[in-house]
Chain A
Amino acid sequence: MRLALRESQPTWRTFLLAGIALLITYLVTAGLIRWAGANPFSAFELMLTSPLKTSFGIGEVILSATPIIFTGLAVALAFRAGYWNIGAEGQFLIGAAMATFVGLHSNNLPGGVAIPLMLIAAAVGGALWGVVPAILRVRFGIDEVVTTLLLNPVAALVVAGLLNGPWRNPETQFPESARLPKQTDMPTLIPDTRIHLGFGIAILLLLIVWFVIARTPVGLKLRAVGSNLKAARASGVNVSRILMGAALSSAAIAGLAGGVEVSAVSHQLTNGISPGFGYTGVIVATLAALTIPGVLLVALLFGDLTVGSFTASRILQIPSTVGEVVQAVLMVSVISVLVFRKYSIILRVKAPQ
């Protein structure tokens, strides 16, 4: 049994493989669910479909998908340029802190002013957190995987420092910021749901990034740099500028995600504001094969699984961490199965006739 390179990669095969990956995930996790004392089939049905049956459920799916649309988009954008930004987590946290800072000092500014200011601060904060690794890479060729990754725990420490120091909640004395003024709460996008304007911003950004990459001169250069840096340079592309641009936009989008989370969901800064949204973004982008529409689909699927596994655990009395296990298994199986987009497997050499 061996792998052989395929010559073409039709789209239908990608969909077929995604289906196979889902099946594998089912088979692998079924045992675990059974062991937890539930029927795996109904568990899966609940996990995948229960959120989609009610409009409330769909709203929850979109709500939990929103931050990872942002971070997935941020990571995909950088990766497409060949800039391996693993720092979306830290950039998210700094973005959240910056938004909190603006929110805490917004006094009586009306929401129409305060919220945009918070979001701008968040994006700038994210970009600033990404600027040092970007310069080190572009000017001195220092590997950004290491530097962006190492800055993540530093960002977490910055947040913890702020929450234990100047921003400690004056009322409860908990290490969390005070609740931000009401007018900094992001308005909902659709009345009577929890879907907020942040989702609209995410979709808008996604469309913009998609168009920029696929259809603009800068996008062409970005794809060239991402797939063959030397050839792009020899062709006259300003490689440093493209890398810098991709790195900073990516970091800004991740930072913006933090700002949206503060303004729309948590309304305060806490140590647990990100349950790993930045890392999940790397997974989302990878599963989407770095395609921008793929980021949206995968993020929504993850949102669906997150909401669904709560329902499943409630109804079937299994731990809700089962949902996380399913996501992890899904990731491994999708990544393994996606190998077959490029390679075919040959089980046995045909005997000569």
Chain B
Amino acid sequence: MRIAKSFGPVKALADVTFAAQSGQVHALLGENGAGKTTLMRILYGLTRPDAGTILIDGSEANITSPRVARNLGIGMVTQHFALVGPMTVAENLLLTEPGNGVISLQKARAHVRDLSSEFGLEVDPDAIVEDLPVGGRQRVEILKALSHGCKTLVLDEPTAVLTPKDIDSLFSLVQGLCKDSGLAVVFISHKMHEVLQISDEVSVLRHGTIVSTQRNFELDVHQLTQLMVGADDPNLEVLVGAKSPQTPAIAQLSAPKATVLSVRDLVISRDGVDRVDNFSLEVRAGEIVAVAGVTGNGQSELVEALLGLHEPTLGEIEVNTINVVGSGIRGRRTAGMSGVSEDRHQQVVGELSVAENLALTDPSRFASGPLLSRSAMTASAEDKIAQFNIKSSPGQSAGTLSGGNMQKVLLARMFDAKPSVAVVAQPTRGLDVSSTAQVRAELRNRAKDGTGIVVISEDLDEVLQISDRIVVIYRGRIVGELASDTATTAELGRLMAGVA
């Protein structure tokens, strides 16, 4: 395909040429906002190109909607899943292909079973989608795409939400689909080692143009990073790991500082199951404590309870010695805690602009008299856009931001509140290499200035790199606590797997 696309003044894609071969995995790399998702949305008929053509098996296709795309054998698993939570897997599949007249759930169930045995995808047709773990939901999405006899499968950042084990099974699935069923797979990821592991061919997008398409064996991490950020990027050496990052040294707490967050005997029950059990944690000013664990061991419930999205069943959460349990999100903010939870779309108002979203927490700061000063809001937003290197303008609707840039808006807003306790879930999920380095440095900087930070992450490198202390959570309980400077990946891995 050869494509150009602009959104008003924003040139998202400029004369991009991209080809996927059947039986091969073609990886698509690029910085946040480079245009990866936009390109794939065009292929899947979710967005129309301004110019350009798409060729499928040599003949030109006019893809005006996902339905057309599906009929042409294109399937896509988007960054955010499009499933109906309370319905079963079989019902979800029926939705895309209801057919005419009477629907037969019986047939749909059999269809799911056929597909899952054909492709070696473990999926229970009668499972309720919202009860499935993320990896399971993703398999349903893939199954949905495959159920239309798809020949080209697009996976947009599929590994961002998966556990290492799920990533392995996804990769063997993808390899199977390519080798045995002859599919062409487009794979988007920010993780270089994944790209090098799974792909046959790699294309790199930068600022809306393809800067390189090469065979996998011709490449290494260093080259890839250089292609992504451009050879002239001053941080290049740091990013590829040739030089150690210039993050401030981990705080040596000479005199112990005040405790800013104290969690005692937290219990969170959902549907009669204790998702978090007897969780206690103390965080001092200026320290970063990582809660490490494989996704699904109570972390999301823990974050929701800490931030007040869902109050805990039992236990105390003290922020600056004030018990905030029962005071909701706003009570916690007043006490000095703010944070970012996992689901970005439930924290950003898509229809409002970036500047408005940034101001939303406390818009009266920008009031002159009774009115909001748009210029003050815009100026402040411009500051944060520059500081966090967000690819957008203050007036852009937040809903049109790329995934990584949305994450940066949330982080910028969190720090804007000058919290004494910051709780961040998966701070660098979906971020490109340079943004990841930048966000980690920012977290260290804030800690140096005295913020107590809790990072919830399953990325071992991240946890070891930025935290002072690591607590490992397994099945909702703390199973170990380690100091970052002495902890090893192996030790952490063992604890996270529940092998004491």
Contacts and interface: CB of A to CB of B under 8 A. Distances in A.
B351 A227 contact: yes
A4 B48 CA distance: 10
B346 interface: yes
Contact of A216 (B8, B309, B347, B371): B371
A220 to B, nearest CB: 5
B364 interface: yes
A228 B61 CA distance: 37
B80 to A, nearest CB: 14
A2 interface: yes
B64 interface: yes
Interface string A1-41: 01011011000000000000000000000000000000000
Nearest to B8: A8
A346 B64 contact: yes
How many interface residues does chain A have, given as a range? 20 to 34
A258 to B, nearest CB: 28
B371 A235 contact: no
Contact of B7 (A2, A7, A223, A233): A7
Contacts of B356: 220, 223-224
A224 B352 contact: yes
B313 interface: no
Interface in B324-383: 329-330, 333, 338, 341, 345-352, 356-357, 359-364, 366-367, 370-372
Nearest to B366: A217
B362 A230 contact: no
B413 interface: yes
B428 to A, nearest CB: 20
Contact of B367 (A216, A352, A353): A216
Interface string A199-234: 000000000000100011101110110011011111
A238 interface: yes
B320 to A, nearest CB: 17
A232 B349 contact: yes
Given A224-B352, A230-B346, A352 B363 contact: no
22 contacts: A2-B64, A2-B67, A4-B64, A4-B65, A217-B366, A220-B363, A221-B360, A223-B349, A223-B356, A224-B349, A227-B349, A227-B350, A227-B351, A227-B352, A228-B349, A230-B346, A232-B360, A234-B307, A235-B349, A235-B361, A236-B333, A236-B338
Interface of B: 7-8, 46-48, 59-62, 64-65, 67-68, 307, 309, 329-330, 333, 338, 341, 345-352, 356-357, 359-364, 366-367, 370-372, 413, 417
Given A215-B372, A223-B352, A233-B309, 10 more contacts: A7-B7, A220-B352, A221-B363, A230-B346, A231-B345, A231-B347, A231-B350, A232-B360, A236-B417, A352-B59
The 7 closest A-B pairs by CB, nearest first: A217-B363, A236-B361, A227-B351, A234-B347, A235-B360, A228-B349, A217-B364
Interface of A: 2, 4-5, 7-8, 211, 215-217, 219-221, 223-224, 227-228, 230-238, 346, 349-350, 352-353
